[in-house]
Structure 1
Amino acid sequence: MQKRNNYTEIEDLLSDQSFQSWVLLKIDEQGWEEWTLENRQRAKLVEDARLLLLAMKVTDINLSQNEIYSALESTWKKIEEKESFYRNTKSKIVHLKKYLLGGVAAAILLCFLSIWVFKNNSITSNTVVTYNELIEENNEGLVEQTNNSDISQIITLSDGSSVLLQPKSKLSYPKIFTGNERKVYLSGEGFFEISKNPKKPFFVYANEIVTRVVGTSFRIKAYQDQQNVEVLVRTGKVRVKSNSLISNATNNEVILLPNQALRFIRKDLVFNKITNITKDEVLVKSVGNIEQLSFEFNDIPIAQIFETIEQAYLVNIDYPKDKLNDCHLTTSLSDQPLPEKLKIICKSIGNDTSFEMNGNQITITSKGCN
């Protein structure tokens, strides 16, 4: 990211793939808007490059390799003719013309390369829904949590729901859920455990899809620069459909049950339902501890229960081991968000047992078992 601080020419920006994505696809994962506004000179350079890139944008990109090579060959031939024409002029003018022609050549070359890349690898701009667009659609004030660390982070929402937010991900949500719906907005990956409230359904907006639940646990993987969006259900029932922001979106809804998943192909707006996740190599490799560990406990020592929670949520639990060493617990904690799990455990222990969460650090205070 520091490399762009040395950009002084339009070609520098045009050759940057993340800059192309920002201008053409409205994907600003590298913070181009904020970087641009840091100083006036930089803003002028960015604006010139942006206008040039937009001017080169071609709506019909059904070009073959032969057509691309032919166009490039013709362009270079014209450049050589121009250079020959100006060769006998004053040295400064020659230098300027060569610089301009070189810039034009680079821009045209980048244009064709961009067309080729976008044709084969990128998501078409008319189907892309960005995280920023989702946020702009929401009128209520939102809190944004960004995970810039190397480990997952726990976010507790006002309704008691919890989200295990993965690195390079961010979540926007209201301080307090109002109205008849609970809405959050995800960019990246998160594991959700939703407090049950049938009268107030929970919605997760992520790229081009909307996931609706009442009370359940599931994972969504929706990075802006990836071709697919994945939803994997651990418990309960999940409903997934296309976002209404997509002009040609369908109203079809896919229902997922426990141990089922969905892969949404962003480029084609296609839903692929996976009823047996064990046969999908990509899903099998991406399953985390929280989706594999069991929260069914039958006369299990408290120490072992806390260890299971630490492994699942990648948190650290500090508790008075000497006072709770002989405590055992029988309970089912599969459907509860993390704060609710801790609440049930503390209530079962009794004797003024309580917990406090501070990020990924959990502190249990207790006088011992009942």
Structure 2
Amino acid sequence: MAGARMRLLRGLEIVLMGGQIRRVSHDKFLVKSQKGNGWYEVVWRNRKWRCSCADYKKRKKDCKHIYAVLTFLNLPSILMRNLTPELNSCPRCGAGQEYLVKIGCRKNRSGPVRRFKCKKCGHTFTERLAFKSMRSDPFIIVLALDLYLKGLSTRMVAHHLSTMYGYNISHMTIYRWFRKYVKLISAYVKKLKPRVGKRWHADEMKVSIDGKPAYLWNILDRKTRFLLASYITTSRGAREALRVLETAIERAGIKPTEFVTDGLSSYSKAVEILKIKRHVRNVKFSGKTNNNVIESLHSTLKPRIKAARRMGSKKSAREFAEAISIYYNFIRPHLTLRDRTPSKKAEITIENTNPLLTLILRSGKKTSARLF
């Protein structure tokens, strides 16, 4: 036991020195010899890490080079654990934390993953529930999604992961992660009711789907800056205006008493049908009554709007609109809200210093059996 602890500490020292570990592939590393100029090969084979050093060949147990690789691989997970809320319920029956017991660990390439069992229903699961069936490190998945939502292209994200973290992941894999987790998070956040005001702003802007013109509609609550509806259509008639306004009302659970728009006549018919008290039309960016909050939104989302112009189908365009709402409402702090997110201003609490990770973990608890 003392020998294993000493090798673990020496492995940690190798990591802290920096420049001592080279990643060759997903399951192969080179670790620099601490006594000479050579490199030892550490590979994952037959569900076990193996090293070419004399210590491993003699003992057939983890050496300091293997511990160095495990520590290196676990650094993202250590960071994730500092950001991850504690597991507090069974994903199958919803039983509380008092019913959960630890039943050891499952050995992976990146080291052990904790396993739990529910005493109430007997279900067993791991702490990586929301990332079930995903081969890549959860830290890398969250990082890739965060960078993509902030405006980087999938190719730029893939290049960043390769140069900075040594993960060679295709840009299409990153896009598949985006589609999967936007669907997961969107289903979760739609159940959360924001407490918003009764003065809403609306505007639309031209985008493109498969080279054809389309329109991105947004409806925003002035008090909380909460984005109540983000919708993409191929035309902007009264029917489309009514649909997006109904979506916003359903999301908020209330109707506005004042609705501020530009001069598009389609809004007037929707306001009449829904019997909204006051419709302020033909507003400009400046003046006592203006639409600058929604114009600021479009300016903020400009990098993602550029991505929307390259959307190839209505389905991908809808996914983009859902991603806009998630990013703007729950992830990006707003300067006029004193660096709070619109969701926090609307009294929706997302604990944690990493809101994207929290949303993934929360949404994965109840829906993992259906989506994974």
- Normalization by structure 2: what TM-score? 0.25
Higher RCO, Cα 8 Å, sep 6+ = 2
TM-score, normalisation: structure 1? 0.26
Could you say which structure has the larger radius of gyration? 1
* Structure (1 or 2) with the greater helix fraction: 2
